[in-house]
């Protein structure tokens, strides 16, 4: 095999609690993470040496800072493989939205490269490598949904009753994660007490007050998603993407169609997926 294709799924945080802060400044959290079928498409091709990442233009992401580039480079270094890989990424998950597109691309690039080059690397080594790239990356290597704790790296399977579908609203502007956490600290919001995984999602996000301080229009967008059929609404990650949860795809589609003429934001219906990536035919 000289080429392969893989889909890198987005994620939603179905509620997010900040439960504390480590001495190094990282915030501790608890959240239910679920993969959804909104996805970037990656195509990997073997080459004689080196790593090349070609990404949808106009996103302003330097190649050396692309997590997929870092992932493939780190994997080849650890495996001691002299072969190279070109990764072409067709982006559908916008950066700065809390949908985890960069982390998902990195996880898919890791799995895809290991498969393409038939690398001998253990699951533990892959997980350690994923965590070194970012706290969200390990989630995309495993099953969904998952209960995440710590800085997001401590993952556990959770028997959560998931909605059937979501309307995902992606504003034209992203939210800088570091800025959202900085404002969260400035607001001196009390930490949430740690809890066990809930049987059903609780969509409250402790970062939302900080997000609307940085991006006030988010409150208007979230209000738009209020629907009598919705099971709940929320913000994923540190924003800016918002969502409404529904029992069925039909209900979500009806909501989306009703909103099309009312907002400049991008709208899509997304359904839960069992994992963070999927090999394409």
Active-site annotation holder among 11, 40, 91, 105: 11
Report the distance separating Cα 263 and Cα 258, nearest Å.
10
Q: Hey, what domains does the chain have and what are their CATH numbers?
A: 3-158 (3.30.230.10), 165-273 (3.30.70.890)
Who's near 209: CB < 8 A, 6+ residues apart? 184, 187, 189
Beta strands in the chain (DSSP E): 3-21, 27-47, 51-55, 84-90, 146-149, 154-157, 165-170, 232-235, 242-246, 266-270, 272-273, 277-279
- Indicate the SS3 state at residue 274: coil
Tokens 């629907």 locate to: 227
Per-residue pLDDT of the chain (281 residues; tens, 9 = 90+): 599 999 999 999 999 999 999 999 899 999 999 999 999 999 999 998 889 999 876 555 556 668 999 999 999 998 876 788 999 999 999 999 999 999 999 999 999 999 999 998 898 999 999 999 999 999 999 999 999 999 888 999 988 899 999 999 999 999 999 999 999 999 999 999 999 998 889 999 999 999 999 999 999 999 999 999 999 999 999 999 999 999 999 999 999 999 999 999 999 999 999 999 999 96
Can you give the pLDDT at residue 72? 95
Give yes or no: 105 in active site. no
- Written in H, E and C, the secondary structure of 136-196 is CHHHHHCECCEEEECCCCEEEECCCCCCCEEEEEECCCCCCHHHHHHHHHHHCCCCCCCCC
81, 136, 206, 227: the catalytic one is 136
Question: Is the CB of residue 136 less than 8 Å from the CB of residue 16?
Answer: no
Q: Judge whether 11 counts as a catalytic residue.
A: yes
> 141 φ, ψ to 5°?
-90, -15
């Amino acid at each position: 095999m000289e080429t392969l294709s893989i889909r890198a799924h987005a994620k939603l945080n179905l509620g997010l609690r900040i439960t504390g802060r480590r001495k190094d400044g990282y915030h501790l959290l608890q959240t239910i993470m679920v993969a959804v079928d909104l996805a970037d498409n990656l195509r990997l091709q073997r080459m004689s040496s080196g790593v090349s990442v070609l990404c949808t233009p106009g996103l302003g992401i330097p190649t050396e800072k692309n997590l997929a580039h870092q992932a493939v480079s780190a994997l080849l270094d650890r495996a001691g493989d002299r072969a190279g890989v070109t990764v072409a990424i067709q982006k559908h998950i916008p950066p700065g939205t809390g949908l985890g597109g960069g982390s998902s691309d990195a996880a898919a690039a890791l799995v895809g490269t290991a498969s393409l080059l038939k690398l001998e690397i253990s699951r533990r080594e892959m997980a350690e490598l994923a965590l070194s790239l970012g706290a969200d990356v390990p989630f995309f290597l495993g099953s969904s949904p998952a209960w995440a704790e710590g800085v997001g790296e401590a993952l556990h399977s959770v028997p959560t009753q998931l909605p059937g579908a979501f309307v995902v609203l992606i504003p034209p502007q992203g939210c800088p994660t570091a800025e959202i956490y900085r404002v969260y600290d400035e607001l001196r919001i009390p930490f949430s007490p740690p809890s066990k995984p809930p049987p059903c999602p609780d969509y409250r996000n402790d970062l939302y007050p900080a997000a609307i301080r940085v991006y006030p229009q988010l409150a208007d967008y979230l209000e738009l998603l209020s629907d009598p059929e919705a099971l709940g609404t929320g913000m994923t990650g540190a924003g800016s993407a918002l969502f409404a949860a529904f029992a069925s795809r039909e209900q979500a589609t009806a909501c989306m169609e009703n909103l099309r003429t009312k907002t400049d934001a991008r709208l899509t219906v997304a359904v839960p997926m069992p994992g963070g990536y999927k090999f394409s035919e």
